[in-house]
Amino acid sequence: MIVTQTISDCRLERRKLGKLALVPTMGALHEGHVSLMATAKKHAEHVAVSIFVNPTQFGPREDFSKYPRPIEADLAKCQAAGVDLVFNPSAEEMYPARSKNLGFRTQDKSGGVPPESPPPEIMVDMPTLASVLEGRFRPTHFRGVCQVVAKLFNIIQPDVACFGQKDFQQLRIITAMVEALNWPIEIVPCPTLRDPDGLAKSSRNQFLSLEERQRALAISRGLLNAEKEFFQGVKQTNRLVTLVQNTMLEGTMQGKVPLLIDYVAAVDALTLKSVDQITTPTVIAVAARVGATRLIDNVLLDPTKKAHG
């Protein structure tokens, strides 16, 4: 496995490889990421992983400086998964102008990019898809995601790129971006990996105390309840959304600290527009805060498919 830190080294090493599948990550790798690497291996002879905590996708009050960066453990996981090439650049390498002009501060007191920062020097945006759901709570997030993924695609030039359905809005936006910009890259959606208790694996789960983790389980429980109801014939989204909300708030009635729900929404899987009655693939998406940790999860309800399991 070759590990590169500069764009020029990465390009040099990439040229030695044939058909390549890329798994872009922010590190703190878990089995969810490893499952993406396994899928990548099925789609191409060679696999590349990028590990980069991208500052431009964090808001001013978000957890950029707190985000875990266990690089040695991450590299060991990539090695074990049979990865050929790792790209692990610094913020200065990826954003030299920003670093020089603004004295880029990774230890900013607010825990992220300084609020006075101008927008990223180049903007790739999918405003319609990016302004809903996560976009309402993280208005500049997907601009940062599109910017960094566009740069990674240009640097690594993969034939295939794997993205998790856990971040389904991100997956939809990247798929639309690749279509809109005619990039010859196949975007492969990968299913969400969960812990045995149902919690979707996330690099941020390590911030949860045991008690918070128990409370966080109400998110996947709510989504699972909605999925069951859907397969029993309930197609009205207001009923499914209410069921998810009620499941998430059950703990409150038992006197526990509530989860703070940012949204529970039912949207069309392609347009991300609100859906009343499920006739086409629809996603029920949730974002909630458990203590200081913000978690997202979702379930895809496809009327053309039968219940599994």
Determine, following the binding rule CB under 6 A, whether residue 33 of this chain makes contact with ligand AMP: yes
192 makes contact with ligand AMP (CB under 6 A): yes
User: Shortest gap between Cβ of 167 and ligand AMP (angstroms)?
Assistant: 4
Answer yes or no whether residue 143 interacts with ligand AMP by CB under 6 A: no
Q: How far is CA 109 from the centre of its chain?
A: 25
Near ligand AMP by CB under 6 A, which window of 5-13, 31-39, 239-247, 256-264?
A: 31-39
Rule CB under 6 A: say whether 166 interacts with ligand AMP: yes
State the number of binding residues for ligand AMP (CB under 6 A).
Answer: 17
If the CB atoms of residues 36 and 259 are measured against ligand AMP, the closer one turns out to be 36
Query: Which DSSP category does 274 fall into?
Result: B
Among 91, 102, 193, 234, binds ligand AMP (CB under 6 A): 193
- CB 39, min distance to ligand AMP, A: 9
- Give 290: exposed, middle or buried? Use CB within 10 Å, 0-12, 13-18, 19+: buried
CB of 164 to ligand AMP, least distance (A): 2
Q: Minimum distance from CB of 79 to ligand AMP (Å)? A: 18
Active-site residue, selected from the candidate residues 33, 43, 46, 141: 33
79-118: b (≥16 Cβ within 10 Å) or e: eebebbbbbbbebebbbeebbeeeebeeebeebbbeeebe
From the list 127-135, 152-160, 198-206, 221-229, the region that binds ligand AMP by CB under 6 A is 198-206
33 is catalytic: yes
**Would you say the C-alpha torsion 9, 203, 266, 125 has a positive or negative sign?**
negative
Which of 26, 86, 94, 259 is the binder for ligand AMP (CB under 6 A)? 26
State which H helix or E strand residue 161 sits in: strand 160-164
Q: Any long-range contacts for 3-8 (C-beta under 8 Å, 24+ apart)? A: 3/75, 3/86, 3/88, 4/85, 4/86, 4/87, 4/88, 5/87, 5/88, 5/89, 5/90, 5/93, 6/89, 6/93, 7/89, 7/93, 7/155
Contact positions with ligand AMP (CB under 6 A) in 60-89: none
- Applying CB under 6 A, the span of 28-36, 146-154, 233-241, 299-307 interacting with ligand AMP comes to 28-36
Our finding on whether 57 is near ligand AMP (CB under 6 A) is no
What is the closest distance, in whole angstroms, from the C-beta atom of residue 165 to ligand AMP in the complex? 7
With respect to ligand AMP, which residue has the nearer C-beta, 190 or 278? 190
Which CB, 58 or 278, lies closer to ligand AMP? 58
Label each residue of 179-246 as H, E or C: HHCCCCCEEEEECCCECCCCCECCHHHHHCCHHHHHHHHHHHHHHHHHHHHHHCCCCEHHHHHHHHHH
- Residues involved in catalysis: 33
Q: Using CB under 6 A as the criterion, which residues of the chain lie in contact with ligand AMP when the complex forms? A: 25-26, 32-33, 35-36, 163-164, 166-167, 190, 192-193, 200-203
